[in-house]
Structure 1
């Protein structure tokens, strides 16, 4: 098996070839902690329009992350964006981040240039049409449809933006009723996924999160077989080496079959026992509050 060091040293094109040879990859990557990242990296500067500067710089970062993932052979990216909690953050935040920010994903020149350059087919999934009905942002759903239509002929990559994509239960139920009325039978899984996402999407293969250990907002695609990864720093800090390490673990480390315990030597058993004794008090996912923020706890007690 190739070592991590060897995989990290591969040219990007060769790493991408290895990723593609392992089969279609569906990466779920909600880019979170963006405001925190912006504060840390750019908070000391003065802006005439701080919110506008935030959106410009964050957009540039997000596009660079999409390119990083696609350049490494991942052909499908699911990226949840905003959920119901945004409606609780105040009118100004919703107007700028929700209204302008989401519209930019659909029609911003920087995003459209990226979709064309990388030949990306775009979809927006989720309950956004219902959630935004009766609000000043109801027209966003039409912009989403226009972006999907504009990129329909793109073939190289797929990018799915989740907008209020936290719960598909009602959407699935309504579609099932319509399907039965029209066809006299319940829809199969493929038809349900196609209806919700705009086209069929294979089950998620790996998820990259930040902050609390929680995988979310990719309904119907989480079958319990995806590999889960969580960064300590906000998502915008993801580096090529970090992503390579995730890919290596996903492609190689987690594919190694469990050993035959009956064939283990006494020394091996002793070494395994010592490892668990050393870390038996450590719980991955437990955390502590530091300056009001949740941080993972790397400590542990026996």
Structure 2
């Protein structure tokens, strides 16, 4: 299927193509939410508070719903890293705690889970961090949230919290499984124990800014397709997602080129493309000092003659 044909399809037709290739596991790694909020709702120096949580709640629900509407079955959303609990001061720690309670208590999220028949839960090494900051009650609430049972599950949604380094946790789980069974656990058993369900490997990863995949223990195989938006994650839009899905389903799935069928003109065009871009490297950028931000440099020159 070519690009124009794909873009002419309805949302449901694209979703069916995604489901036919599935079950698809996607990662949507949030980045740049404070910048997005300042640009869309805030003013210079405005504190991140209730207005921020309400705005990002609405946008996060919109984007996760969009991914599910396009056929994604399981979605992992890395949200919070340890430094939010430990290195930005008490005020920011309190905001981080507030973000967690939003996911477990806010009617908007709870209604969303019910509407889409979502089995939602947390993953990561958050337990120790919550205990260390005196949030044992919140940890108990999250554990109860994780154990909620649905009679019908259409989608799975995993909120990643402190999932940056899973070595200690996975090692402990492996030892516990071995002690219980007397056998070295398989990768599938480790995934089931860590995530609470059988999850296929990641199909695609959507991040923002600097290209790097993170916070998805046991599920990255090297076969996942990686995508990184230039703008902060909340700016992801439907047309952009359709471009990603076309690339994932078709552009990267073409059969290997048959070199023996290439003409001399084809080889000349290929040589020209490589020569034009001999110094280009995907992922290279520059720091914009006025903003304190990394931005990708312009890359790839391509003569489509």
TM bracket (short chain): over 0.9
After superposition, the Cα gap between the structure-2 partners of 1:299 and 1:247, relative to the gap in structure 1 and judged at 3 Å, is closer
Structure 1, unaligned stretches of length 5 or more? none
* Matched-pair contact (CA < 8 Å) for 1:83–1:163: yes
Which stretch shows the higher mean deviation, 219-228 or 180-189?
180-189
- What is aligned with 1:124? 122
Matches within 5 A, 1:98-109: 98-109=96-107
**2:6 corresponds to which residue?**
7
1:44 positional shift: 3.6
Deviation at 1:106, TM superposition (A): 1.4
Alignment match, 1:70: 68
Which stretch shifts more, 135-144 or 189-198? 135-144
Task: Decide whether the 8 Å contact of 2:173 with 2:190 is kept in 1.
Answer: yes
139 and 176 in structure 1: CA distance in 2 versus 1, 3 angstrom threshold: same
**Of residues 265, 269, 272 in structure 2, which corresponds to 1:271?**
269
C-alpha deviations, 1:73-130, integer Å up to 9, x for none? 011101111111212111111101x101011111211100000011100121111112
Deviation at 1:45, TM superposition (A): 9.4
Is 1:143 the counterpart of 2:138? The answer is no
2:160 aligned residue (146, 159, 162): 162
- Give the drift of 1:143: 2.0
Distance, in Å, in 1 between the alignment partners of 2:265 and 2:9 is 35
Change over 3 Å in CA distance of 1:154–1:94 after alignment to 2: farther
* Bigger Cα displacement from structure 2, 254-263 vs 206-215: 254-263
Alpha-carbon separation, structure 2, partners of 1:167 and 1:225:
21
CA distance 1:224–1:18, change in 2 (3 Å): same
Q: Give the Å deviation of 1:154.
A: 4.0
- 1:247-298: CA deviations, max 9, x gaps? 0000000000221223211010001111111112211101111121000011
Q: Please tell me whether the aligned partners of residues 122 and 151 of structure 1 are also in contact (alpha carbons under 8 angstroms).
A: no
* Secondary structure class of the residue paired with 1:252: helix
Q: How does 1:1-302 map to 2 (within 5 A)?
A: 2-44=1-43, 51-86=49-84, 87-96=86-95, 98-290=96-288, 291-298=291-298
- SS of structure 2 residue aligned to 1:139: helix
Q: Displacement, 1:198?
A: 1.3
